[in-house]
Chains A and B, each alone.
Chain A
Amino acid sequence: MSGYGADAPILIADELRHSFGRVPALQGVSFDLHPGEVLGVVGESGSGKTTLVRALSGELVPQGGRVLYRDREGELLDLHALPEGRRRRLYRTDLGTVRQNPRDGLRMTVSAGANVGERLMALGQRHYGSIRAQAEDWLARVEVDPDRLDDVPAQLSGGMQQRLQIARNLVSGPRLVFMDEPTAGLDVSVQARLLDLLRGLVADLGLAVVLVTHDLGVARLLAHRLMVMQHGEVVETGLTDQVLDDPQHAYAQLLVSSILPV
């Protein structure tokens, strides 16, 4: 984690704007993300968090602004301006997206092994044994019993589905992962173990992560830096501890003070 700010940013969001009819979802959101850094995005429902992830992950073309990604060669690419083929290739090699609902991020009709192997096959791997071995290895790394390799996601628990989704994204060795509420909908003990796993993986692989969450506990555990959003605007940004312990903006103060004392 040392010196993660030293390198040039891997991701630059530049004045992102988007609105749904009269409802503004993003009103000029900008930030830099450096290699190996975890940026937490917090805010209440409707603050534009999910729209931000969708704009970053290529699912939605923002009405204004640019998303710049620095590739392995150091070239800065405008993701939404790239030719479609190149953009799609980037999104399944260098980038990953973990969605809140595993059903949106998994192929529900094929086995866990096929889910993990999909990116490998998309990249041209054609050796069944080798693809299967890699899928098995990744299941083990996300702490899912490799015996479940041939089960379809519906046969897995919610926590396992979420782990599977993480493995499916990480198998291609991405450098940047977007996570939209990865632990929402899981019970507290499962959440804790998944967070532990995520923290380990992020540190081991040196991943840069944009982590959207409404749970400040999750943010405190994983994020190096926090960005507080309200009504599609960034109202406060800073180191996680700083924001959580000494919030400056009124809304951030409200958010922090609303954590239930346990």
Chain B
Amino acid sequence: MSAADTTTAGAAPAATVEGYNFAYLDEQTKRMLRRALLKAVAIPGYQVPFASREMPLPYGWGTGGIQVTAAVLGADDTLKVIDQGADDTTNAVNIRSFFARTAGVRTTTRTERASVIQTRHRIPETPLSEDQILVYQVPIPEPLRWLEAREQETRTLHALAEYGLMQVSLYEDVAQHGRIAKTYDYPVEVAGRYVMAPSPIPKFDNPKMDRNPALQLFGAGREKRIYAVPPYTSVRSLDFDDYPFDVEDWSQPCALCGATDSYLDEIITDDAGGRRYVCSDSDHCGKRREAGHTGPQGETS
């Protein structure tokens, strides 16, 4: 696992491509993005429209996150990219190498060494600090979209803070399933005002957003929206007084590192119904094993 750590201690990666501006986008585009980001930070949770650019990969693969990353990345930054918590999945590997080649920045898989972390579907288990920026890839930025199809109407609902509709969907969950059944992209209220889609992170990660010291930026490329949660901003998951928000828990620890406090993926191991649970955050799991923690199946991996 630790072989995936590509931190190159100051040296620029050898294969920086010629002919592109730093971090692929031209300076005017980055200024446009930064203006949108500043507005987003000024109004926590508010979706700021921006002129999303065509990127050299398809919509849905993280074009929003990549544009935000390109706009905030500096030459001294160290970039980490995760997809479903892992540094070694296709999406993460390719976005990391994209910025290594177009910006020449250092990359890492170590959460604590990164200054910019682009993520899809997870918040790292390692607590973030004030000098870090977390960039989320967002497929559908509008939390009310499934309930109200008209864009004009959802904007009005946000403007007037009419969020009864969101509550109706939670009511319906409890009525049909006996509990709030939403497990990812669980709607949150930011700074006591805007209701926001936290992107498809598991609800397990929602509490990590609350008063997080890091700056959290969200980019939706196809939907052309940017929003943000500034450091130390309150983020409250919506719920009912008698059906309070809670997070998943697992009946067993991580099979590899024995962690009991991290988000676990269920992995099918054979055709006979064999399965095991392992940390979804590969960096977290690797560090624990380096430190000598072992889970029930730790030796076999």
Contacts and interface: CB of A to CB of B under 8 A. Distances in A.
A60 interface: no
A113 B242 contact: no
A123 B163 CA distance: 9
A70 interface: no
A129 B178 CA distance: 12
Contact of B160 (A85, A123, A128): A85
B56 interface: no
B167 A110 contact: no
Given A84-B156, A127-B242, A121 B162 contact: no
A243 B261 CA distance: 76
B242 A114 contact: no
A180 to B, nearest CB: 21
A122 B162 contact: yes
Interface in A105-120: 107, 110-111, 113-114, 117-119
Interface stretch (B168-176, B248-256, B278-286): B168-176
Place the interface of chain A in its size category: 20 to 34
Interface in A99-155: 107, 110-111, 113-114, 117-119, 121-123, 126-129, 131-132, 149-150
Interface in B230-254: 239-243
Given A118-B168, A121-B168, A111 B175 contact: yes
Nearest to A86: B160
Given A117-B168, A121-B164, A127 B176 contact: no
Given A128-B171, A150-B175, 12 more contacts: A110-B171, A111-B176, A114-B175, A117-B171, A118-B168, A119-B164, A121-B171, A122-B162, A122-B164, A126-B167, A128-B174, A128-B243
Interface of A: 84-85, 88, 107, 110-111, 113-114, 117-119, 121-123, 126-129, 131-132, 149-150
Interface of B: 156, 159-160, 162, 164-165, 167-169, 171-172, 174-176, 239-243
16 contacts: A84-B156, A110-B168, A110-B169, A110-B172, A114-B171, A119-B164, A121-B164, A122-B162, A122-B167, A126-B239, A126-B241, A128-B241, A128-B242, A129-B242, A132-B175, A150-B176
Leading 6 A-B pairs by shortest Cβ distance:
A122-B164, A121-B167, A128-B240, A121-B164, A85-B160, A127-B241
